[in-house]
Amino acid sequence: WWTGLVGAVRKALEASQVRGEEVAALAVSALYGGSGVPVDQNLRPLAPALIWMDRRAEEESAWVLEKVGLERLFAVTGNGADPYYGFTKLLWIRRHWPEVWAKARYFLPPGSFLVHRLTGEVVLDHVTAGNLGGIYDLERRAWSETLAEALGIPLERLPQKLIAPTEPAGRLGEEAAQTLGLSPGIPVFSAGIDAAVATLSAGAVGPDLHVAMLGTSMCWGFVSPELPKTPALVSMPYVLEPERLVYTFGGAATAGAAVAWFRSLLGEGTDLATLEEEAAGVPAGSAGLVFLPYLMGERSPIWDPRARGVFAGLSLAHTRGHLYRAVLEGLAYALRHNLEAARQAGYRVEGEMRAVGGGARSPLWMQILADATGYPVRAVPEGGEAALGSAMVAALGLGWARAEELPTWVEGLAQRVFLPGDGGPYQEGYTRYLELYKQLQAWFARKQA
């Protein structure tokens, strides 16, 4: 991650022709790092982080539900228990890597790890802290001493200073500044996890937008002043006004990863534009073919680490265009499943959906999303996602912008609106999608190699 940050800063300076001394601040957003990086007394890494996609803490998640109970866990944290959450991965490390657990001074999420390399400070933003689940009291916006004690997770192993993303985490140190080619002493901000920061990049400064981030995974979410209403979704403080606003999202474990996986099966040289053209020529519903995109288990709303990817309904009549379209449709159904979970919990999901990330560059995928969900989709394909959101955080922290001005940053970006058309074939496909998982759930539950 440090190597990636250094390379990204240098490339940004070169591409923008901005001199290092002109840079006024750094804002770091990062993937959800699960357990975080275990570091020793000298803050040197002891082992790799178990990131969000790692599903090994299955037994620990079941133990939490048995010992603490979903009702109590949700009442405090606004979340449930699943191998996705960082606190279950901490329990896994305690059980399976006792030597790492014994030596670990801190477990630093990727953003905090980088902020420490940049500033020497050990801090954590409220967005990332809330996404750890399990040991973060969402109503109090603080660590939960009672749950930490019940789970056996020493809170002193986590950063004690929790800050808002727009509050400076520290100042850029001399050594880091020299490495990056920037001026020492500029403020550094811990912007939060990528999904929440990408939501900000779409212009979501309050509870009037819902946004789909289509990257490696899919995170569809919205902002609300209310405490969470269901553990079927994921909730944490928002990037803006974290003391008041909550970011709630539903996520498919694979989105762009499913597309990349399918392309990899076709061999090198498979052109994405050709695949899109072939899939566009296939009627909606993929001639009865249904794809479950559970290639790494699944997050919300089913929370099933043992679920697996499935193509169902294959025949000799199906082509690779059918299969590719079925992948895109399956991902649209996964998003709709989360939409419906939110509505069933009592959230009002209104207006257009905004889409950011690599998936927003696919007109076919965007139209499928609109048709399958019934919502207009405004794609912002070159919006910069979390990078733009991080720039917004820095501008707010420096006092260069106000939150209500941020939507105008998005207005100047290239956009395209996809209006929902005939959703009939997708209603049938979505029904089959839900039925297929129910039919296979018991089979998935068997112990897998």
Question: What pLDDT, on the 0 to 100 scale, is given for residue 269?
Answer: 77
User: Per residue in 48-62, pLDDT tens?
Assistant: 999 999 999 999 999
Q: Is residue 124 part of a domain?
A: no
CA 6 to chain centre: 23
pLDDT value for 361: 94
A 10 A CB-CB count for 289 gives 23
Cα–Cα distance measured from residue 200 to residue 406, given in angstroms and rounded to the nearest whole number: 8
Tokens linked to 165: 């993303």
Q: Measured in Å, how far apart are the chain's first and last C-alpha atoms?
A: 31
CA dihedral defined by 286, 289, 295, 300, rounded to 10 degrees? 80
Q: What rounded mean pLDDT belongs to the chain?
A: 95
Residue 55 lies in a domain: no
Interhelix angle 86-96/58-67, rounded to 10 degrees, is 110
- CA-based R_g, the chain, Å: 22
The Cα–Cα gap between 21 and 218 comes to: 37
**What digits encode the pLDDT tens for the residues 265-276?**
998 778 899 999
Distances in whole angstroms, Cα of residue 370 to Cα of each of 174, 339, 402, 417? 49, 13, 32, 9
Average pLDDT over residues 197-210: 92
Q: Residue 411: exposed, middle, or buried by beta-carbon count in 10 A (0-12, 13-18, 19+)?
A: exposed
What single DSSP character describes residue 359?
A: G
Query: Are 115 and 188 within 8 A, CB to CB?
Result: yes
Q: For residues 419 and 370, is the Cβ–Cβ distance under 8 A? A: yes
Q: Position of tokens 């390399």?
A: 117
pLDDT at 423: 86
- Gap between the Cα atoms of 376 and 417, Å rounded: 7
Residue 403 clears pLDDT 80, i.e. is over it: yes
Nearest C-alpha neighbor of 123 from the set 190, 197, 173? 190
**Both tokens of residue 204?**
């979501």
pLDDT for residue 129 is more than 80? yes
Q: What is the pLDDT of residue 414?
A: 82
Average pLDDT of the residues in 1-11? 95
Give the C-alpha separation, 8 to 215, whole Å: 18
SS3 273: helix
Q: Tell me if 3 is assigned to some domain.
A: no
Examine residue 311 and state whether it is found in any structural domain, yes or no: yes
Domain hosting 219: range is: 195-449
- Looking at the 3D structure of the chain, how many domains does it have? 1
The fraction of the chain above a pLDDT of 90, given in percent, is 94
Looking at residue 282, the DSSP 8-state letter turns out to be: S
Residue 40 lies in a domain: no
Side-chain-facing half-sphere of 106: CA atoms under 13 Å: 19
Which helix H or strand E contains 387, and what residues bound it?
A: helix 385-398
pLDDT confidence bin for 447, thresholds 50/70/90: low
pLDDT band at 206 (very low <50, low <70, confident <90, very high): confident
The model scores a pTM over 0.75: yes
Query: What are the C-alpha distances in Å from 403 to residues 52, 178, 211, 284, 397?
Result: 29, 32, 17, 40, 10
DSSP 8-class letter at 45: B
pLDDT at position 381, please?
Answer: 85
Name the residue with tokens 């109590």: 72
- pLDDT tens track for 220-263: 999 999 999 999 999 999 999 999 999 999 999 999 999 999 99
The pLDDT, as a whole number, for residue 172 is 98
Summarize the confidence of residues 307-333 as an average pLDDT: 97
Average pLDDT on 300-319 reads 97
Asked whether residue 179 is domain-assigned, the answer is no
Residue 118 lies in a domain: no
pLDDT category, 449, cuts 50, 70, 90? low
Q: What DSSP character marks residue 304?
A: B
The amino acid occupying position 80 is: G
- Determine, yes or no, domain membership for 161: no
Residue 382 pLDDT level (bands cut at 50, 70, 90): confident
The CATH number of the domain where 202 resides is what?
3.30.420.40
| Beta pairing partners, 251 | 219
Q: Which residues on adjacent β-strands are paired with residue 39?
A: 45, 106
Band (385; pLDDT cuts 50, 70, 90): confident
Of 337, 345, 348, residue with least CA distance to 429: 337
Strand partners, 222: 210, 248
Query: Could you give the 3-state DSSP secondary structure of residue 124?
Result: strand
DSSP label at residue 412: T
The residue assigned the tokens 């139209």 is 367
- Rounded distance, CA 429 to CA 291, Å? 10
Percent of the chain topping pLDDT 70 = 99
